[in-house]
A and B are shown apart, each in its own frame.
Chain A
């Protein structure tokens, strides 16, 4: 084992209380950053969940549409024009909108209606755990997520309720389709969705374009943009980015999460810097001895940075365990914390960076060390 590492490690464990303080500082800081960024990713994933699960090569949306939940409407005549464009195999209408769900008990709650031509492969519910997708074509059939049974005042498959004074029946139950707005999604056939949201047959919210086999998506998009007026033609990625930008930054939620993460990183850096500085001060005599026996400054910096990195590894290891627990506990919540491999690697790099920056104050202290002090102590 390199002696620099041994020295750094022994310096760290020499004062266990300080090591504990350093590690707690890192763990708190990284868990805070992890939760904030995990919420950011979870939120980002939830706001695009409908776009992610729609079978569309392109989305035709009303000009200026900010997110999937935007209720701006298109003229259905645009569908005919789109179908006339070379390379377009289909353009499936989707209708969305808020509606009032009246429970059998008489009380009501808002729901978010999502309707499309399910036979054409529009925006159908996924993760169906009870019932069948085909059942949604039967009269009054809707699909809801089981996590909202309580909110909707129903007990499961076959339950009945009303939307806009029209009877609905739960014909399919999904799992894990949660809304970040906490308003339950209710999937149904296109015509029923129009009836429940009041969107006339001359209007639609979106057109999901399927590109013909062999056609180039970019070319089709260019032709659609030329042929259609008053609309935007977006790729799924563009629509996702737009939705995320609106919900995360247009509302300030993302900025708040980032601010929290930044605060966590700053607090962590300050705590580690403080403990590392005081550890260096305590070992100043040893660093002066190192300098006296001829060590280069670089060698001493290596010892300090090694201490910082060791703290980072220990702190991150514990923070990762806490993070895994948090992910597990929030998995079924309205807003799950998502930690991706990229986020994990980024957090580790952040921990390392934080600890190395923290070492700067200690290094500054050592830079000014006078090796001759060994003769007077």
Chain B
């Protein structure tokens, strides 16, 4: 059994106020373990992004607690949460969010720089991360000179360079063609082989199912089903019905 790297307990989130108030999450429990790639699937408006924001320590839940590596993050101020993010969590976004004015290498280095990690080997580690994602030859390229798939690989390099406990990926393949999507998922699955790291991927794409160790399905702010790798076939059916 691998370690629990992140745990959400009874998470509820109310968005808005007055008549426009929406209960986006209604008591969600979720555990991410090291060495696992977990898919979080659900239709639009089901609460995936809200849950991802809470797990990413960017949004405070109305109820419930989030634990990262056993430490409760409730009640922490924004600077403590920022430190937690830079030390423990790597992010991969749907639209990459690379800095257009920085090279691929500097985009990756940035994740170390915000941690005040500026010693001589920071550049080397950034280069290694780019090599891992197959972009050793593109270190000096700017995002505009890279394809969508390459940009997302830079984003993955940025997410893994700090060796985080958790990688949270928001629709990482949504803007990519099938071939690039598979390449990205292969990299994320590779990252999840580290027993110290859990990977959560939010997606709509059923083609990603083979990469999952676990699949969590969310609907209307509730987790409606959770399946391990053994139940993949059953999950496909669930997805088709949905």
Which residues of A come within 8 Å of B, CB atoms? 2-4, 6-7, 10-11, 14, 285-286, 289-297, 299, 370-372, 374-377
Contact = CB atoms under 8 A, between A and B. Distances in A.
Contacts, number: 82
Given A372-B58, A375-B49, A289 B79 contact: no
Nearest to A13: B101
Contact of B82 (A4, A296, A375): A296
A293 B89 CA distance: 8
Nearest to A14: B101
B56 A292 contact: yes
Contact of A297 (B58, B79, B93): B79
Nearest to B159: A293
Given A374-B93, A375-B52, A295 B86 contact: yes
A100 B114 CA distance: 76
Contacts of A372: 53, 56, 58-59
A296 B101 contact: no
A375 B93 contact: yes
Contacts of A286: 97, 99
Specify which of B49, B101, B109 lies most central, judged by the most chain A CB atoms within 10 Å of its CB: B101
27 contacts: A3-B110, A7-B110, A11-B101, A14-B100, A286-B97, A286-B99, A289-B97, A289-B99, A292-B58, A292-B91, A293-B90, A293-B110, A293-B114, A294-B84, A294-B85, A294-B111, A294-B114, A295-B114, A296-B114, A299-B114, A371-B82, A374-B91, A374-B97, A375-B49, A375-B52, A375-B53, A375-B170
Interface of B: 49, 52-53, 56, 58-59, 78-79, 82-87, 89-91, 93-95, 97, 99-102, 106, 109-111, 113-115, 118, 158, 170
Contacts of A291: 82
Which A-B residue pairs are the 7 nearest by beta carbons? Answer: A294-B86, A10-B101, A294-B85, A295-B114, A372-B58, A372-B53, A289-B97
A285 to B, nearest CB: 7
Contacts of B83: 294, 296
B106 A294 contact: no
A129 to B, nearest CB: 59
B89 A294 contact: yes
A363 to B, nearest CB: 15
A119 B59 CA distance: 89
A374 B106 CA distance: 19
A10 B95 CA distance: 21
B87 A2 contact: no
Nearest to B90: A293
Nearest to A285: B97
A21 B102 CA distance: 23
A290 B101 contact: no
A294 B113 contact: no
A299 B101 CA distance: 17
Max chain B C-beta neighbours (<10 A), residue from A6, A10, A292, A370? A292
Given A293-B111, A295-B114, A375-B53, 11 more contacts: A10-B101, A10-B102, A14-B100, A286-B97, A290-B110, A293-B86, A293-B90, A294-B114, A371-B58, A372-B58, A375-B49
Contacts of B49: 375-376
B16 to A, nearest CB: 15
A275 to B, nearest CB: 17
